Chains A and B, each alone.
Chain A
Amino acid sequence: MAKVLVVTSGKGGVGKTTTSAALGAALAQLGQNVVVVDFDVGLRNLDLIMGAERRVVYDLVNVVQGDAKLAQALIRDKRVESLSLLPASQTRDKDALTPEGVERVVGELREKFDWIVCDSPAGIERGATLAMRHADIAVVVTNPEVSSVRDSDRIIGLLDSKTARAEAGDKIEKHLLLTRYDAGRAARGEMLKVDDVLEILAIPLLGIIPDSEEVLRASNLGCPVTLHNPASAPARAYADAARRLMGETIEIVVPIERKGLMSRLFGRSVA
């Protein structure tokens, strides 16, 4: 049974695209058949993060509008065989996506893949609502700061009202992924605490991704962080999050800085 997962946040720049690539790759490494779909029409980035920017011929808009077949637009990853990308168009805008077209494409993807990871654009307009429209699961990407938390709260409200599942009276599974978590700043009280964010958003925590140079390095090289340096802290956090999505129970650890050693982790259970 295929699962449609939307990576969303409301706010821009919190790490949706990085997360889509990293989670998609991690799920593929677990043997799942995965496609990551870029819904950010007009401002596409996922192809860069995945290192596929020179291989894009057709895109999501072409398929939605019936100008290309799905198989023509899908780009298979060169590192992990079971990972594919459906890129967005850079030259069009979000109005080029139609609800009927998106529904048809998502339906076709469901037949081919185990996981359809939809990388949502920022905002709450057409692009974002169409990206979440057919989701079964939502990963809400949030930074530990107030504006990101409030925007995430807004998005959770939309997930509970505007998705196809919500309109049919079904529940949509929602998970919180805290990204750019800086242990040093947390220790100095310069960021919201994990418990504060969980208390405000009131959805289960999928993982905490530490703020790390590794993420930037991997992005610049066009490689999901989970593939680029699997031993790094963010890669391990994403890999654990992917296992939790698969139903495994893995304890969540909050990164703690101590004596300047960022990499030292101390076990701690969170809600």
Chain B
Amino acid sequence: MALIVAPEPPLAPWLAALDEQIARSRQFFVDRPVVVNLAAVQDQVGAPLEFLEHLTTRGLNIIGVEGIDRAVLEGSRWAQAWVLGATSRDRLVLVPDDPPPADAPEPVPETEPPAQTHLIVERPVRSGQSIIFEAGDVTVLGSVASGAEIIAGGSIHIYGALRGRAVAGVQGNQAARIFCRRLFAELLAIDGLYRTAEHWGEGLHGRPAQAWLDGESVRLAALE
């Protein structure tokens, strides 16, 4: 089944929304044949071709272009992809999000090396340093200093003391958690929701702890 992509002007916010969707549903878009319906943007000079370029750079596999005068595509590499009329559009597809990496690792094409879904940092993360890993979990064997930060698409595991910031689930992963052996953190965040140290008080100070998302709030508990 081909996916019909129909942009709506203005293009910039539409493309931004598409980027977000692709980021959350990479698996869904891999090798998915795409038919582009340009009816909504056909009157804007240059817009149809520009838009097709945008889609190509995002790795979408365009097999057809519809809803537009054939002449517009003449001379471009899309001329062969022109489709007469519009394909039937009997139902909207709900694009599913990728399952969280812990449950099912992303299947990868056989020709490519497996994508790294876990980053292990074997030394202390010093003040002023940022470890940013959006593809999955981050494990730090040392401590994370005051003024340092770890940003992960998945969960964060710190086997030393956490004195800086830990930001987990940055790409909308609500199942992401933060674990540390000793909690002195300045800030914890999961999927955009954050808590600063003054929220959790002295009770957890210096103890092994975890943080997770419970609906719309970050919860913390000792790991003992």
Contacts and interface: CB of A to CB of B under 8 A. Distances in A.
A143 to B, nearest CB: 16
A154 B127 contact: yes
A153 B142 CA distance: 13
B143 A157 contact: no
- Most chain B C-beta atoms within 10 Å of own C-beta, residue among A151, A156, A200: A200
Given A150-B145, A150-B147, A153-B145, A200 B163 contact: yes
Interface in A140-184: 146, 150-151, 153-154, 156-158, 160
A124 B127 CA distance: 12
B195 interface: no
A202 interface: yes
Nearest to B128: A154
B129 A150 contact: no
Contacts of B147: 150, 153-154
A200 B145 contact: yes
B126 A200 contact: no
A156 B124 CA distance: 10
Contacts of B61: none
A160 B127 CA distance: 12
Contacts of A200: 143, 145, 161, 163
B143 A202 contact: yes
A179 to B, nearest CB: 19
Contact of B146 (A153, A156, A157, A199): A153
A160 B143 CA distance: 16
Interface residues of A, number: 13
A157 B127 contact: yes
B124 A150 contact: no
Interface string B134-149: 0000000011011110
B142 A202 contact: yes
Contact of B129 (A124, A146, A157, A202): A157
Nearest to B124: A202
A156 B143 contact: no
Contacts of A124: 128
B61 to A, nearest CB: 40
Contact of A154 (B123, B126, B143): B126
B128 A157 contact: yes
A124 B146 CA distance: 17
A200 B163 CA distance: 9
B112 to A, nearest CB: 28
Contact of A156 (B126, B161, B163): B126
Nearest to A151: B127
A150 B143 CA distance: 13
B142 A150 contact: no
B124 to A, nearest CB: 5
A228 B110 CA distance: 72
A160 B123 CA distance: 11
B143 to A, nearest CB: 7
A200 B145 CA distance: 7
B186 to A, nearest CB: 11
Interface string B145-161: 11110000000000001
Interface of A: 124, 146, 150-151, 153-154, 156-158, 160, 199-200, 202
30 contacts: A146-B146, A150-B127, A150-B145, A150-B146, A150-B147, A151-B127, A153-B126, A153-B127, A153-B128, A153-B145, A153-B147, A153-B148, A154-B126, A154-B127, A154-B128, A156-B126, A157-B126, A157-B127, A157-B128, A157-B129, A158-B128, A160-B123, A160-B126, A199-B161, A200-B143, A200-B161, A200-B163, A202-B124, A202-B142, A202-B143
